């Protein structure tokens, strides 16, 4: 069944880059796995729109529970990390990103609870200049 693509869908060329990492191995028993590209697109739709899994449109051709379990399995197998690393490497080789100028954003650093005790000595102060 053909459907109109959503903004969050991967293109054919994008899918070729990540298909080996985004496709889960075949199961030995039971039903055949759902289309991995449609499952991946459904996952991207949820991440892109911020909707609930129950609000995934029916035209993806996969059940919302199937897409949810597919995403959990990708996370468990650390495939999202591998996909990100592969795309980052490709962007770096093409000169679209410079890895020598990377900065840590405070929004991704885990915040410690409570007041941090400082010794007040010069050794506890780090100068960045």
What is the predicted pLDDT for the residue at 46?
Answer: 95
What is the predicted pLDDT for the residue at 125?
Answer: 47
Classify residue 62: in a domain, yes or no: yes
Which domain range does residue 42 map to?
12-93
Classify residue 121: in a domain, yes or no: no
* Distance (Å) of CA 7 to CA 10, 11, 105, 124, 126: 8, 10, 27, 49, 45
Classify residue 110: in a domain, yes or no: no
Q: Full-prediction pTM beyond 0.85?
A: no
Number of domains making up the chain: 1
Classify residue 77: in a domain, yes or no: yes
What is the predicted pLDDT for the residue at 128?
Answer: 46
Classify residue 48: in a domain, yes or no: yes
CA distance 87 to 119: 43
Classify residue 126: in a domain, yes or no: no
DSSP state of 59: G
pLDDT by residue, tens only, the chain of 129 residues:
578 899 999 999 999 999 999 999 888 888 888 999 999 999 999 999 999 999 999 898 899 999 999 999 999 999 999 999 999 899 989 988 877 766 666 666 666 666 666 555 555 444 443
Classify residue 42: in a domain, yes or no: yes
What is the predicted pLDDT for the residue at 19?
Answer: 95
What is the predicted pLDDT for the residue at 121?
Answer: 54
């Amino acid at each position: 069944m053909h459907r109109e693509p959503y903004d969050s869908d991967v293109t054919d060329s994008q899918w070729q880059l990540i298909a080996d990492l985004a496709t889960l191995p075949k199961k030995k028993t039971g039903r055949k796995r759902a289309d991995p590209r449609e499952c991946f697109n459904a996952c991207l739709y949820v991440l892109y729109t911020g909707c609930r899994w129950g609000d995934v449109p029916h035209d993806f051709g996969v059940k919302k529970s199937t897409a949810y379990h597919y995403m959990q399995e990708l996370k468990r197998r650390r495939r999202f990390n591998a996909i990100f690393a592969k795309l980052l490497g490709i962007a770096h080789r093409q000169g679209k990103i410079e890895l020598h100028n990377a900065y840590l954003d405070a929004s991704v650093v885990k915040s410690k609870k409570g007041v941090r005790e400082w010794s007040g000595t010069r050794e506890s102060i780090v100068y960045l200049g």
